């Protein structure tokens, strides 16, 4: 019988990623990119205005990393006015607009916007 797993290794197309907390140490990890239109995280649009170029990442985050306070970017009129946490995936730096831990999974759901 099939059952749910917490093992991030079941995903294909994993990318090397660095999560850079506003205050704290870089977390070297893996991430997968999720389509904006196909993600439950898209519900975040109730709280902030997303752009078509924003990315959603599912990030492997194990408890052996100390999770610093998560600090998303400051937005004014839908634009990033102060960068805080960032995530670098495939050598592209993104401001973290929204981040939440997925309970009992060891994953983070991250909405990122490419830095100009």
Where do the domains of the chain lie? 13-114
- Which token pair is 78? 């839908």
What angle is formed at CA 28 by the lines to CA 23 and CA 33, rounded to 5 degrees? 105
Return per-residue pLDDT of the chain as tens, 116 residues: 465 555 555 555 678 889 888 888 888 888 888 777 656 676 777 778 888 888 888 888 765 566 667 788 888 888 899 889 999 998 999 999 988 877 666 778 888 999 98
pTM of the shown model: 0.79
Dist. CA 79–CA 48, nearest whole Å: 10
**57 neighbors 110 (Cβ within 8 angstroms):** yes
Domain 13-114 has CATH 3.30.40: no
Tell me how far apart the alpha carbons of residues 20 and 70 are, in angstroms, rounded to a whole number.
10
């Amino acid at each position: 019988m099939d059952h749910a797993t917490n093992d991030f290794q079941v995903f294909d197309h994993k990318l090397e990623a660095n999560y850079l907390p506003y205050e704290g140490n870089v977390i070297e990890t893996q991430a997968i990119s999720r389509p904006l239109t196909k993600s439950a995280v898209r519900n975040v649009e109730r709280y902030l205005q997303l752009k078509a170029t924003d990315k959603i990442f599912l990030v492997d985050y194990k408890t052996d990393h100390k999770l610093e306070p998560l600090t998303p970017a400051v937005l004014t009129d839908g634009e990033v006015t102060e960068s805080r946490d960032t995530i670098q995936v495939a050598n592209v730096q993104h401001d973290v607009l929204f981040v939440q831990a997925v309970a009992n999974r060891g994953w983070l759901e991250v909405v990122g916007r490419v830095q100009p």
